[in-house]
Structure 1
């Protein structure tokens, strides 16, 4: 009985092995082709990613972003080759399961690392668009300085106060960003005022002529002075001129020299730069100024003093008359 059961057991095993062997022999060509497909895609992924890395390395400032994009491209080609090989073996169900699992895993990772993923994607997008490069002077979200490093998740900016600011890439990607190094020029605006007694056009002419003598001023034909408004004590003007930026003469130095030259030009032309003046006017409808009131008050005080001096003299005369009448 035991021998019969054992024979049945080995018979089933042999039958299964024969079925598997026949199936293996039957699918052996497909298996070989699937391996060939996988090897082909592996070789293609390797060389294509290397070529892409070289191309991106020449077009991008950040080597990290170029390497990441090349690696992602390589993984995509390998996954495509794997799915094609599995489908060629008739494992379409396995392919669908892998795709569904990859989608679920990707969704979970996206929710778990949402902030990190957003910064990463923003870094990749900026690496492709290149809104700024290392060494550029940028201003964004209150940070103003020179770009030192561009990473996948953030950008390092050195401010003009010597501090290093780490800005997440999503902030630079979402918000308004000013790049002062793209056009390599910058316009300076110097406000100043002249007295109401002076001619604004004369002031504009002498200031423009003086500023254009500076070597750091470019586009001299566009240097101009414009009247802005009427101030409390002055006519307010604006000086506009262009400089190379970044350039040999820094922004602060150029502004310092411009302010100095404006003052010098106005002094040489005998044009007054006024200081604030206040005129106190009393009375509901005006017309009664403080100096007039003080003059009137002073005159009244002098008149009172004169009357007070004349009154004792009159009293003394009356007393003398009374004494004369008594003696008589």
Structure 2
């Protein structure tokens, strides 16, 4: 037994139901927006009631949209126009499905967004332009104020009785300037209408996540602070750190830049420096130059010592106090080693080293003092054959 249904009447009823559900969906959406706006101006004690109403409305809206979605599917099956309904469903649910790929639906959504943007631009452009101008003015004032603060801090730390290192001075100047810039940026964002509470909370959460992800960087940061506090070296000091020798040209909280003696620029992480031995060769005003000269056992070492001492006394860069020292140091296999240790200003270290070495070699040669080199004497005990035959064979092998 079949039930006869008038298809034309069914389509009309289906279209009527779609229109009714569509109108109710629009009404519920407007009610939800009104409740959301009302929640922003409601007292704390009344927010719970408004929130309950919003939750109930959202549940009803979900049920209605599901019914509208089923009705739209049935209408589409019978060839009815459902473009507006699909646009509304997408706008309210945000579900991306095959309907969005429909040309009419996509064009309708795009047209709706363009119209919404035009309305927003017409309503908001005057106030937005004013806010942007205020934001730019605040940034300009902040930049100027940051420069003024940086100069004040620079004068303060450079004339302080606490004797800050250059690295520490640069650190304070940088922190002061960046702090002023950060505060000015927050003030500018607040003038644009951005709520700073969630923004700062987001910074805090992001900071925790970044902290776990960048543990090595934080280690460099902590090492940089320790270097600034204990001041093992300063800018322009000649140091040997992490197996690198050179002059400190720059330092941040993360890394230190070293310029080597052959003019290479190396950037070393601070944790590599702080975790190793730091040798500062220019921390003191004077240094001792340690040199060793070997002479033959047959030579008069007292005479050789006098020659070396005369060379030191004739050199203007060698200091009188502390007195230079020349002593017999080691009796090696093939030489008697003399230590020559003058004291010089730190800046004159290498010039003195090279000049004294060259002059002592010249004086030793001129006055008959021999500088031996390692050598071995080989004695052949011939058992079979003559020494001449063995010597000939050795020469051939060489």
TM-score above 0.5, yes or no: yes
Task: Find out whether 1:66 has 2:172 as its counterpart.
Answer: yes
Match of 1:190 in 2: 291
Q: Identify the match of residue 361 of structure 2 among 263, 277, 280.
A: 263
Q: How does 1:18-29 map to 2 (within 5 A)?
A: none
Q: Secondary structure of the residue that 1:217 maps to in structure 2?
A: coil
Match of 1:174 in 2: 275
1:214 CA displacement: 0.2
1:167 CA displacement: 1.1
Match of 2:241 in 1: 140
TM-score w.r.t. length of structure 2: 0.47
Counting matched residue pairs gives 229
On the 8 A contact 1:195/1:274 being kept in 2, the answer is yes
Question: Take 2:44 and 2:219, find their aligned partners in 1: how far apart are those partners?
Answer: 52
On the 8 A contact 1:65/1:124 being kept in 2, the answer is no
Question: Take 1:118 and 1:191, find their aligned partners in 2: how far apart are those partners?
Answer: 42
Q: Identify the match of residue 280 of structure 1 among 378, 382, 387.
A: 378
Match of 2:335 in 1: 234
TM-score w.r.t. length of structure 1: 0.56
Question: Take 1:172 and 1:235, find their aligned partners in 2: how far apart are those partners?
Answer: 39
On the 8 A contact 2:296/2:371 being kept in 1, the answer is yes
Larger Cα Rg: Structure 1 or Structure 2?
1
Q: How does 1:10-159 map to 2 (within 5 A)?
A: 53=153, 55-56=156-157, 59-62=164-167, 64-67=170-173, 70=176, 107-159=208-260
Question: Take 2:261 and 2:292, find their aligned partners in 1: how far apart are those partners?
Answer: 23
Match of 1:79 in 2: none
Match of 1:222 in 2: 323
Question: Take 1:239 and 1:61, find their aligned partners in 2: how far apart are those partners?
Answer: 36
Q: Secondary structure of the residue that 1:222 maps to in structure 2?
A: coil
Q: Write out per-residue CA displacement over residues 71-123 of structure 1, whole angstroms, 9 at most, x where no aligned residue.
A: 8999xxxxxxxxxxxxxxxxxxxxxxxxx999876554332111111212222
1:60/1:195 Cα in 2 relative to 1: closer, same or farther (>3 Å)?
closer
Q: Secondary structure of the residue that 1:134 maps to in structure 2?
A: coil
1:164 CA displacement: 0.4
Question: Take 1:161 and 1:112, find their aligned partners in 2: how far apart are those partners?
Answer: 37
Q: Write out per-residue CA displacement over residues 223-280 of structure 1, whole angstroms, 9 at most, x where no aligned residue.
A: 1223233333321222111221224xx61x3222112221233244432223444322
On the 8 A contact 2:322/2:343 being kept in 1, the answer is no
1:122/1:69 Cα in 2 relative to 1: closer, same or farther (>3 Å)?
farther
Question: Take 1:240 and 1:157, find their aligned partners in 2: how far apart are those partners?
Answer: 29
Q: How does 1:291-310 map to 2 (within 5 A)?
A: none
1:220/1:259 Cα in 2 relative to 1: closer, same or farther (>3 Å)?
farther
1:168 CA displacement: 1.2
Match of 1:37 in 2: none
1:211 CA displacement: 1.7
**Unaligned stretches of 5+ residues in structure 2:** 1-37, 47-144, 181-200, 391-398
On the 8 A contact 2:296/2:372 being kept in 1, the answer is yes
Task: Find out whether 1:210 has 2:315 as its counterpart.
Answer: no
1:126 CA displacement: 1.9
Query: In angstroms, what is the RMSD of aligned CA positions?
Result: 4.3
Question: Take 1:275 and 1:159, find their aligned partners in 2: how far apart are those partners?
Answer: 32
1:207 CA displacement: 0.9
**Unaligned stretches of 5+ residues in structure 1:** 1-12, 22-45, 75-99, 298-328
Q: Secondary structure of the residue that 2:166 maps to in structure 1?
A: coil
Match of 1:93 in 2: none
Q: Secondary structure of the residue that 2:289 maps to in structure 1?
A: strand
